[in-house]
Structure 1
Amino acid sequence: MKDFLPVLKILLRFVIIYILLVLLYQFYLNAYADEVVDPFTRWVAEQVALVQGFAGFPTVLVDSFKQHSVYFLTGEMYTTRMVEGCNVISVGVLFTAFIFAFYKGAKTFLFAVGGIILLHILNVLRIALLNIIYLKYSQYEKVAHDYLFPAIIYGGVIILWLVWIQFFALKREKDA
């Protein structure tokens, strides 16, 4: 049992941090239950529209209170809709809980913040590209939405986790 104690500590730390972050996020969402979407989700949608505009696909956001989402109107076509689940916070919670399960001081905070920023950028680009695929290559929209784009965001998380483990969490501190 003594051999498993470090693993159990890491697992327990992960579960506690994950539950706390999920509860905080749910508290945040509950505060905006009467809105179309929460402010962070709207901010992500605005950034996607901005990226699409830079790419030559001017986009207007259209609120749908009935579906608690923001639609992307690109040109004359509604491409996709932005819902809370597309804002990468849930993925960020999972990422952060894992990073803090292998806590290594101040660099843990820096890596977590840097990773969340990187995941956010990846997410905005992913949604913009998905909308462009809907416009230009509609025959691939299901494959892109259901397989390719989840692989991009979760692949990003896994790569960041591997970097954290390989270069920070398991790296031995040099004796002074």
Structure 2
Amino acid sequence: MKYYLLQYKPFLLFLLKFFLTYGILTFLYQGYLNSFGFDKIDGITQAVGRNTKQLLDLFGAPFSFDKNENESYLRLFYDGKYVARIIEGCNSVSVLILFVSFVVSFSGTLKATLLFLFGGVALIYILNAVRIAVLCVLLFYFPEQEAFLHRIFFPLFIYGFVFLLWILWISNFSKYAKKNTPV
């Protein structure tokens, strides 16, 4: 029995690290969200809304958003037309928790792991703001494509990017990365 478990030790350690990290981060994030109640917008979602507006302002886009104190989402307007809303699930935190959990599970050196985590989190957050900005513009011009854009294209976009980061991490920086040895 002991040999059997030792045979799968790397896999079992991966699972333990992944679910432990995922559970702790999810618990902490849920506690953070609970501090806002059901009818308030959390600070991270508000920051994503502000950053999306800043991004669109760079291009001179006629974009605005507003929040009603009795609603738990931000309403997004493009050229005065309501196009979308940002809810807590749009702020990329769940994707970030998944990303961090995976990188920690395949950890490398402490320095490499921390640098990759900080860089990856920043890139995913920025890409998420870009995703929301582009989605707003596309929904303004192509409202009939909402289901495809919101449910298929942009989730593939953000999760595809995270998947590429994971591949980069595993193949170059984790302790499982192949080491090039001279022949």
Query: Does the alignment pair 1:32 with 2:22?
Result: no
Which stretches of structure 1, 4 residues or longer, exceed 6 Å deviation after superposition? none
Query: Does the alignment pair 1:19 with 2:23?
Result: yes
What residue number does 1:159 align with?
Answer: 164
Structure 1 residue matching 2:173: 3-state secondary structure: helix
Post-superposition offset of 1:64: 3.4
Asked if the contact 2:49–2:86 (Cα under 8 Å) also holds between the matched residues in 1, the reply is yes
Counterpart mapping for 1:1-176 below 5 A: 1=4, 2-33=6-37, 36-104=40-108, 105-169=110-174, 170-171=176-177
Distance in 2 separating the partners of 1:39 and 1:133: 26
What is the TM-score when the length of structure 1 is the normalising length? 0.92
Distance in 2 separating the partners of 1:65 and 1:82: 14
Deviations 1:9-56 (A, max 9, x none): 111111101000000101111111266311111010011112122223
What is the TM-score when the length of structure 2 is the normalising length? 0.89
Change beyond 3 A, Cα 1:51–1:4: same
Distance in 2 separating the partners of 1:114 and 1:35: 32
- Paired AA for residue 143 in structure 1: F
Structure 2 residue matching 1:49: 3-state secondary structure: helix
Query: Percent of counterpart pairs with the same letter?
Result: 32
Uncovered stretches (5+) of structure 1, i.e. residues with no partner: none
Deviates more, 1:4-13 or 1:34-43: 34-43
Distance in 1 separating the partners of 2:14 and 2:87: 33
- Paired AA for residue 10 in structure 2: P
Equivalent residue pairs, number: 175
Structure 1 residue matching 2:161: 3-state secondary structure: helix
- Paired AA for residue 122 in structure 1: L
Structure 2 residue matching 1:131: 3-state secondary structure: helix
Structure 2 residue matching 1:79: 3-state secondary structure: strand
Distance in 1 separating the partners of 2:137 and 2:162: 24
Structure 1 residue matching 2:60: 3-state secondary structure: coil
Asked if the contact 1:36–1:63 (Cα under 8 Å) also holds between the matched residues in 2, the reply is no
Distance in 1 separating the partners of 2:39 and 2:79: 26
Distance in 2 separating the partners of 1:98 and 1:149: 21
Structure 1 residue matching 2:82: 3-state secondary structure: strand
Change beyond 3 A, Cα 1:108–1:67: same
